Amino acid sequence: MTNPSWREIKWAKVPAKPDGLWTVVLEHISGPRLLRVSVKDKDEKNAEVPVKWRPSKTEECGANGIPKDPSNPPSTAATLIASAPYGALVGKLGGSTADLPETGASGPYSGRKAFTAGAYCVVTLAASDGGPLFLTMNDAPASFTAHSGELTVFIEEAPL
Render pLDDT for 1-43 as a digit per residue (tens, 0 to 9). Answer: 678 999 999 999 999 999 999 999 999 999 999 999 999 999 9
Strands (E), the chain: 7-15, 23-30, 33-40, 53-56, 59-61, 89-93, 113-116, 120-125, 130-137, 150-158
Does 25 reside within a domain?
yes
Does 53 reside within a domain?
yes
Would you give the DSSP letter of residue 21?
S
pLDDT of 69: 58
Does 82 reside within a domain?
yes
Q: For the chain, how many structural domains are there in total?
A: 1
More confident site: 102 or 97: 97
**Cα-based angle 131, 135, 137 (whole degrees, multiple of 5):** 150
Does 26 reside within a domain?
yes
Does 72 reside within a domain?
no
132: pLDDT strictly greater than 70: yes
Per-residue pLDDT band for 100 (boundaries 50, 70, 90) equals confident
Does 6 reside within a domain?
no
Q: How far apart are CA 75 and CA 111, in angstroms?
A: 25
Does 32 reside within a domain?
yes
Residue type, 135: L
Structure confidence by residue, pLDDT tens digits, 76-85: 558 899 889 9
pLDDT of 41: 98
Give the mean pLDDT of the chain. 91
- Would the pTM of this model clear 0.75, i.e. be above it? yes
Cβ-in-10-Å burial (0-12, 13-18, 19+) of 128 comes to exposed
The parent domain of residue 147 ranges over 12-66+77-158
Does 7 reside within a domain?
no
Per-residue pLDDT band for 114 (boundaries 50, 70, 90) equals very high
CATH number at residue 84: 2.60.120.430
Q: Are 132 and 93 in contact (CB under 8 A)?
A: yes
More confident site: 73 or 26: 26
101: pLDDT strictly greater than 90: no
